[in-house]
Structure 1
Amino acid sequence: MSEAIAKSAISKVKRFLIPYMFLLYVINFLDRVNVGFAALKMNKDLGLSAEQFGFAAGIFFIGYLVFQVPSNLILHKIGARIWISIILVIWGLVATLTGFANSPMHLYVARFLLGLVEAGFFPGVILFLTYWFPQRDLAQAVALFMTALAFSSVIGSPISGIILDHVHWAGLESWRWLFILEGFPALIFGIITFFILPNKPSEAKFLTSEERDWLTNEIAQEQSEKAKQKKMTAAEAMKNGRVWLLAFIYFFGLIMGLYSISFWLPQIIKGLSKTYSSQAVGFLAMIPFLFAAIMMVVNGSSADKKAEWRYHTQIPLVISAIAIFAMLFIKTPFTSIVVLSIVTAGAYAAFGPFWALPNKFLSGAAAAAGIAVINSIGNLGGFFAPYIIGFIKSRTGNVYYGLAAVGVSLLISAVLLALLPKEATQGAKRY
Structure 2
Amino acid sequence: MEKQVIRRVTRRIIPFLVLLYVVAYIDRSNVGFAKLTLQSELGLSNAAFFMGTGMFFIAYALFEVPSNAILTRVGARRWFSRILISWGAVTMLTSLATGELTFYLARFLLGATEAGFYAGILFYLTKWYPKRHRAWIYGLFIFANPLSFVVGNPILGALSGLDGVLGIHGWQWIFLVTGLPAVILGVVTLRFLTDSPDQAKWLPDDERSWLTEEIARDDESSPKTSSILAPLRSGRVWFFVVQFLMIVVASYGLSFWLPTVVSGFGVSDAATGWLSAIPYVCGAAALYLIPRSADRRQEYFWHIAVPLVVAGVAMALSIIVHEPALRLAFMSVAAAGILGPQAVFWSLTSRLFNSAGSGTAIATVNSVGNLGGWLGPLAIGAIVDATGAATDGLWIIAGAAVVAAALVPGVAVLVRRLDRSVAAPSSTPASTPQ
For Structure 1 versus Structure 2, the TM-score category normalised by the shorter chain is over 0.9
Task: Give the C-alpha shift of residue 360 in structure 1.
Answer: 2.1
2:251 to 248, 258, 262: 258
2:307 to 301, 316, 326: 316
Cross-structure match for 1:245: 239
Task: Give the C-alpha shift of residue 58 in structure 1.
Answer: 2.2
Task: Map 1:27-426 to 2 at 5 A.
Answer: 27-166=23-162, 168-226=164-222, 229-252=223-246, 254-272=247-265, 274=266, 276-422=267-413, 424=415
Q: Deviations over 1:351-409 (max 9, x none)?
A: 11000012223122211111111011100101101100000000011232211123222
TM-score, structure 1 normalization: 0.95
Partners in 1 of 2:264 and 2:14 — Cα distance? 36
Cross-structure match for 2:11: 15
CA RMSD after TM alignment: 1.6
Q: Is the 8 A contact 2:53 2:107 kept in 1?
A: yes
Cross-structure match for 2:423: none
Task: Look up the equivalent residue of 2:278 and give its one-letter code.
Answer: I
Query: How much identity, in percent, do the aligned residues show?
Result: 36
Q: 3-state SS of the aligned residue for 1:102? A: coil
Task: Look up the equivalent residue of 2:312 and give its one-letter code.
Answer: A
How many pairs were matched up?
421
Q: 3-state SS of the aligned residue for 1:246? A: helix
Q: Deviations over 1:254-305 (max 9, x none)?
A: 2111101111110010112x2x110010011111111111111111111111
Q: Is the 8 A contact 1:321 1:343 kept in 2?
A: yes
Q: Is the 8 A contact 1:136 1:428 kept in 2?
A: no
Any runs of at least 4 consecutive aligned residues in structure 1 with deviations exceeding 4 A, and if so which?
A: 425-430
Q: Is the 8 A contact 1:292 1:349 kept in 2?
A: yes
Q: Deviations over 1:150-186 (max 9, x none)?
A: 0001000001111111364431112101100000000
Task: Give the C-alpha shift of residue 328 in structure 1.
Answer: 2.3
Partners in 2 of 1:206 and 1:261 — Cα distance? 40
Q: Deviations over 1:203-258 (max 9, x none)?
A: 123211111111100000110122xx544432321111111111110001x21111
Partners in 1 of 2:226 and 2:338 — Cα distance? 31
Task: Look up the equivalent residue of 1:244 and give its one-letter code.
Answer: W
Q: Is the 8 A contact 2:318 2:328 kept in 1?
A: no
Does 207-216 or 43-52 show the bigger shift?
43-52
Task: Give the C-alpha shift of residue 428 in structure 1.
Answer: 5.3
Partners in 2 of 1:194 and 1:34 — Cα distance? 26
Partners in 2 of 1:119 and 1:7 — Cα distance? 33
Does 142-151 or 354-363 show the bigger shift?
354-363
Q: Is the 8 A contact 2:351 2:358 kept in 1?
A: no
Task: Give the C-alpha shift of residue 340 in structure 1.
Answer: 0.9
Q: Is the 8 A contact 2:225 2:353 kept in 1?
A: no
Q: 3-state SS of the aligned residue for 1:15? A: helix
TM-score, structure 2 normalization: 0.94
Task: Give the C-alpha shift of residue 97 in structure 1.
Answer: 0.4
Q: 3-state SS of the aligned residue for 1:309? A: coil
Task: Look up the equivalent residue of 2:254 and give its one-letter code.
Answer: I
Task: Give the C-alpha shift of residue 141 in structure 1.
Answer: 0.7
Cross-structure match for 2:424: none
Where do 5+ consecutive residues of structure 2 fail to align?
Answer: 420-429
Q: 3-state SS of the aligned residue for 2:391? A: helix
Partners in 2 of 1:242 and 1:34 — Cα distance? 34
Partners in 1 of 2:91 and 2:242 — Cα distance? 29
Partners in 1 of 2:212 and 2:163 — Cα distance? 49
Task: Look up the equivalent residue of 2:214 and give its one-letter code.
Answer: E
